[in-house]
Amino acid sequence: MINIGIIGAMDKEVEALLNKVEIERKDKINDTLFYMCRYKKNELIVVKSGIGKVNSAVVTQLLISKYEPKYIINTGIAGAISKKVKVLDIVIASETLQYDFDATNFGYKLGQIPQMDKYIFETNEYLIETMKKVLKKEQRYHVGRIISGDKFISKENDKKFLFKEFNGLCVDMESGSIGHVCYINGTSYIAIRCISDNADENSTENYNDFDSKAAYKSSELILALLNKVLRSN
């Protein structure tokens, strides 16, 4: 039996998952509910972090400290910044970073965190390869960098700058900080995103049209990933 932590930022990112597992109990730590679930005789800890890097970092640390999961899976939605990524495509993170960390006045690169030996946080190769196997042939997916910051990107100029500077596939508000905390704790993780918008002037409208659909699609893929992971452990 293994335990796996699953983090989504919003209710809609975790509800579809919770509807398909057996909830055994709810642990409340501070103001956060951790759902202790049973799935195929294994333990899942499902939690909604809230939006943004601080919320996701705090919840990730609580999850690791309290439950010591073997893997952390971060599910959710994101805005595309690469031209090859389209709405409702899936992005599997090979690595994550925080684009809005700025200590460039002291000679650091944009995104680089002073006094840390790493600021680009690689995801788990086994989880990447397993996720690729569960994706259907007709499903468009990409493997690459996801970048995070505390800003909803909705301007073409911002989008172009982020892609040029960081060469990311998409942008969100949580995966970089989750990767940061997992790196500090030595915990294996992966971030999986379904694209809800194009991170441009139409992003708010696109987001409202596709966010629920993208969140549901992402949660469905998490279940498929779990089926593969649990069979091989």
Residues annotated as part of the active site: 13, 197
Q: What sign for the dihedral angle of Cα 131, 188, 89, 212?
A: positive
Rounded CA-CA distance 112/120 in Å is 8
Rounded CA-CA distance 145/73 in Å is 16
Give the strand pairing for 90-98 and 188-197: antiparallel
Q: How many Cβ atoms from other residues are within 10 Å of residue 41's Cβ?
A: 8
Residue 8 host element (H or E): strand 3-8
Residue 151 near residue 162 (C-beta atoms within 8 A): no
**Three-state secondary-structure class, residue 174:** coil
The amino acid at residue 73 is I
